[in-house]
Chain A
């Protein structure tokens, strides 16, 4: 889940104008942070844990669910880590900050909430073995990444889910080295897109038993975007035949940068280079005072993919410290399926 990096960087104290200034100043080693490089070999389960020497990192789970009431639902559970300095320490003085986002999207409503914490005191963090990612009472935990329990609560909503992986981990880009711009900015990026999910959604008026499919993204980096890049559109789609597609478009002044990963149902992948996939907005909805493209045309000619992607609920706005659109989508056209869409910078 590539360019979500920005999200956490614009954490609570950063004023929005920083966006316009770009991120040239954040460039890697000068401030002591490590920078991703091609050829890195992941070590699991260690790499499921945090990498404090990198500036940003996240554990990002989305799921498309069907309720026993026959309705479609979507949930999001995200834990972001942002390092003010490239080390960790115990106590309040820890420079590692943590932010949690949780959301439930129903066909009519969108509930979301946010949590903030710092590292060093045990209020939030991630351990690789056994796996646990937590902030306050929110948890994503299990003996390993293959079977997880997931919980989060807001004022008027919450969920308790269990996830079971049905396939292998998936590396994006070049063996997990995912390039983000023509200038070479990159991140480490892998996913577990094969979860089956079951559990309960707690909604203001009801409890709904749900089942469905989940997708976990793991990504970390220190130098996420090129200076001209203004925002992104990111897709994670699961088709009925078991294939999956991750695709993103970074919108820049010097032109868009696209990247995608085709995931076969057995977990084998094909990286799709810049310019090979077309992501085109079809129509917009007025959401939170902005025009948000909620219908898309996705075209991957090499594989004969020609689909339309539509938001389940146009109003899936995350009005958190850093605002963005994130919600479940349905896929029609040459393929049928469901997935998640994230859009920032509108």
Chain B
């Protein structure tokens, strides 16, 4: 008997296979987008922890010299005093057009690096003599191995799975040669086991600064906000996907009422039916979920390289561009699919189970209940207020997202009531019976379409909001680049002596030479890079200062004050007239705060004298050179030839800008991709809803047809209705999108990146989006319109003969 019931239930899908496909696509889309985001996040997080563990960066204290490199003699002093420290020399290394991080570790003092252990335990362990003596060996990830193999100038390469991408690990003896820094040490790692009876570090090497792991910037923490951002997008996509499921399941149940009534009349219990339908939904959810996972996996694979580029660009966080399939991810995805499907079907199933045995099937199922509409509107209002309240009360990134979530869901819930109100106002203003009928008919169909329209509202609002945010950011960023990159050439000499030689030669030929000198200090919020500048009008005129005291530049140049970047200002809540301690006993007043996009760390600017005071001997080998723009290319070439400089040692402003912009564009590729996908899903939701409604529409259209409107007119009205509803929704989405953009710029960005951006509006983009929405609505309505056009009049006549 159960089998017969199952057959009867399944027969529905045989007839309505398109509906089945829609349902599965809905589940798959929801699961796919969500899973893709999860996979990307998981992969990125795994990369960070791998990087941290592999390089043992996070766990040990380390020693740094604020003035720059630590000389080897200092290392030997410490060692001969018993301190167990391991020397590390690191720096950027350009090869094959990529900048990699070259990390040279004293492999004798600190041999327990995972990559080294892995190499030892391989089938062909490398000979220590090869690793420690010229030419040495480079340990790199498999990905990099292909890039580095076959470069004559490089030592032989060994691949390992235990290294993050973009890192070359080698012995310090090899690194000093490749980086051309003989005898230099970037930092000393304090090893965990120290012998008894040590003298304090301050007595042996007073100039070295001990930095504990908590003071170092934590990649995972830094990028949390970025991942939360992605997750929010994933969740939004999931929700939009569920709208499709909800619409389709609602329709399917409505259409099945006939079968169910018959089955019940034949003696099948409601309990059995509900269980069977639940089982059926779960089964469908599993299939849809699996398809979604497949989709998600490929999507994540396609997006990951861009995400990796973003994370590298924004935070310098190492992420591989490769995806590994994890069981946990598969299970979570399937669970989400089943959970989401049941959630989206719950209401329909509940109503079905409450259906009186003899209720007539059909129209009633779709008749909207004004009370429910009002309830939803009130609920929506509460959610918006709740989100706002959460943000005001708690603050922070999570509260910011709560504000966003409240705003979006609340507005979506209020949409039907708002649309209904608008339609009834329009209906009242309408003249003539056909017009009145059109407005009234639209209102009548609103309940069936409202979920799809909510999806559209969300997608459009997200589009406007995120679009505005990205475009505002781009505009600001480009302007900022113009302000910041004021020199025509940027030059890096191999050492201070060469720097002096070059600048002596250059001085008579150019407008100005601006030294770029910096040292790394530590602040309670993380690393702090201190820059020294000379007094050149270009800084006063161009530097992108957000807020400052009246004589900020004079104070800075006189050595009385410091300028700090926005990230530091927001993180440490430091503003003009507060003070900043550069060294424990060296405190300067903050004269101003400047914007510093794309930089994860804190930064401060002082006069050159102050820098020399704080960190005597800070290296002086980087310079900005100001000269006539037309001569820049020629001068760059002359410099390279005359001083035998490698290509990347002299960079032109234009190239630098292009590089910065490229990083910027990469940053938002993923955001835009998810944006477009969400809009696509919303369009699909409208299509399914319209198709659903279509099956219910004959009883309403037949009388109009009988009153004299022909099928062409009816089909036209069909299109018009869809366009009008979409247009109305779009109009409501615009203010929502702008609020969203405002929240993103002033709340989320500040929390996630540490900077606040001015908001710019782009009406042409809105127009474009509006047209796109109309096109989507038109496309979605085309199929029902065509059906209308081709509907045999006999079908319309039959309406009168049948139930009516």
Contact = CB atoms under 8 A, between A and B. Distances in A.
Interface of A: 11-15, 84-85, 91-93, 95, 97, 113, 116-118, 121-123, 134, 136-137, 153-158, 202
Contact of A121 (B76, B131, B133): B76
Contacts, number: 91
Contacts of B133: 84-85, 93, 95
A118 B80 contact: no
Contacts of A123: 75-76, 79-80
Interface string B659-703: 000000000000000000000000000000000000000000000
Contact of B108 (A113, A118, A158, A202): A118
B109 A92 contact: no
A77 B658 CA distance: 61
B183 A91 contact: yes
A155 B194 contact: yes
A92 B80 contact: no
B128 A92 contact: no
B80 A95 contact: no
Given A92-B173, A158-B195, A136 B79 contact: yes
Interface in B69-113: 72-73, 75-76, 79-82, 84, 106, 108-109, 111
B195 A155 contact: yes
Contacts of A118: 106, 108, 132
B121 interface: yes
Contacts of B183: 91
B59 to A, nearest CB: 18
Contacts of B194: 155
What 8 A-B pairs are tightest by C-beta distance, nearest first? A92-B173, A84-B129, A13-B128, A137-B82, A153-B195, A93-B173, A122-B76, A95-B133
Nearest to A124: B79
Interface of B: 72-73, 75-76, 79-82, 84, 106, 108-109, 111, 116, 120-121, 125-129, 131-134, 171-173, 176-177, 182-183, 193-197
A113 B106 CA distance: 20
Nearest to B130: A84
Nearest to A95: B133
A158 B194 CA distance: 12
Given A13-B120, A14-B128, A158 B196 contact: yes
Contacts of A157: 196
B225 to A, nearest CB: 40
Nearest to A113: B195
Contacts of A121: 72, 75-76
A116 B79 CA distance: 11
A154 B109 contact: no
18 contacts: A13-B120, A13-B125, A13-B131, A91-B72, A91-B182, A91-B183, A92-B171, A116-B109, A117-B108, A118-B108, A121-B72, A121-B76, A123-B75, A136-B82, A137-B80, A153-B196, A154-B196, A158-B195
B128 A12 contact: yes
Contacts of B76: 121-123
A158 B193 contact: no
Nearest to A102: B195
Nearest to A321: B111
A156 to B, nearest CB: 6
Contacts of A11: 128
A137 B80 CA distance: 4
A158 B111 CA distance: 24
B308 to A, nearest CB: 33
A199 to B, nearest CB: 15
Given A92-B171, A116-B108, 8 more contacts: A12-B111, A13-B127, A13-B131, A14-B128, A92-B172, A117-B79, A122-B76, A153-B195
Contacts of B80: 122-123, 134, 136-137
A206 B167 CA distance: 48
Contact of A97 (B108, B134, B171, B196): B108
B106 A92 contact: yes
B121 A153 contact: no
Contacts of A117: 79, 108-109
Contacts of B121: 15
A35 to B, nearest CB: 18
A95 B132 contact: yes
A95 B134 CA distance: 9
Determine which residue in A137, A157, A202 has the highest number of CB atoms from chain B within 10 A of its CB, and name it.
A137
A236 to B, nearest CB: 27
A6 B172 CA distance: 27
A56 B728 CA distance: 87
A137 B176 contact: no
Determine which residue in A92, A95, A153, A156 has the highest number of CB atoms from chain B within 10 A of its CB, and name it.
A92
Nearest to A31: B129
A155 B84 CA distance: 11
A156 B196 contact: yes
B111 A13 contact: yes
Nearest to B183: A91
B137 to A, nearest CB: 11
Nearest to B104: A92
A13 to B, nearest CB: 4
Nearest to B89: A92
A180 to B, nearest CB: 23
Contacts of A137: 79-82, 195
A118 B173 CA distance: 11
A137 B116 CA distance: 27
Nearest to A160: B197
B132 A84 contact: yes
Contacts of A13: 111, 116, 120, 125-128, 131
